[in-house]
Amino acid sequence: MAIATRLGYDDLPELLTLLTGDEKHDSSSLSTLDVLWVLYDRVLREDDRFLLSKGHGPTAYYAVLAAKGFIPVEELAGFGTFDSPLGHHPDRLLIPGVEISSGSLGHGLPIAVGVALAGRRTFCLVGDGELDEGSNWEAVQYAGRTGLEQLTAVVVDNHSSTYHWPGGIGARFELEGWSVACVDGRDHDALDQAFTGSHSDRPHVVVAEVRR
Q: pLDDT for 28-73, tens place per residue?
A: 778 899 999 999 999 999 999 999 998 766 899 999 999 999 999 9
- pLDDT class for 11, splitting at 50, 70, 90? very high
Position 1 pLDDT exceeds 50: no
User: Is residue 3 a part of any domain in this protein?
Assistant: no
Closest C-alpha among 40, 42, 47 to residue 69:
40
What is the H or E stretch that residue 204 is in? strand 204-209
Closest C-alpha among 167, 130, 147, 132 to residue 51:
130
Beta bridge partners of 126: 155
Q: What percent of the chain has pLDDT above 90?
A: 61
Total domains present in the chain: 1
Q: What percent of the chain has pLDDT above 70?
A: 91
Asked if residue 41 lies in contact with residue 12, where contact means CB atoms within 8 angstroms, the answer is no
The CATH code of the domain that includes 104 is 3.40.50.970
Position 4 pLDDT exceeds 50: no
User: Is residue 75 a part of any domain in this protein?
Assistant: yes
Residue 138 has a pLDDT of 95
d(CA 127, CA 159): 9
User: Is residue 46 a part of any domain in this protein?
Assistant: yes
User: Residue 96 sits in which domain range?
Assistant: 9-209
d(CA 205, CA 95): 27
Among 47-51, 82-86, 122-126, 164-168, which stretch is predicted with the lowest mean pLDDT?
164-168
Query: Beta-carbon neighbour count of residue 22 at 10 Å?
Result: 7
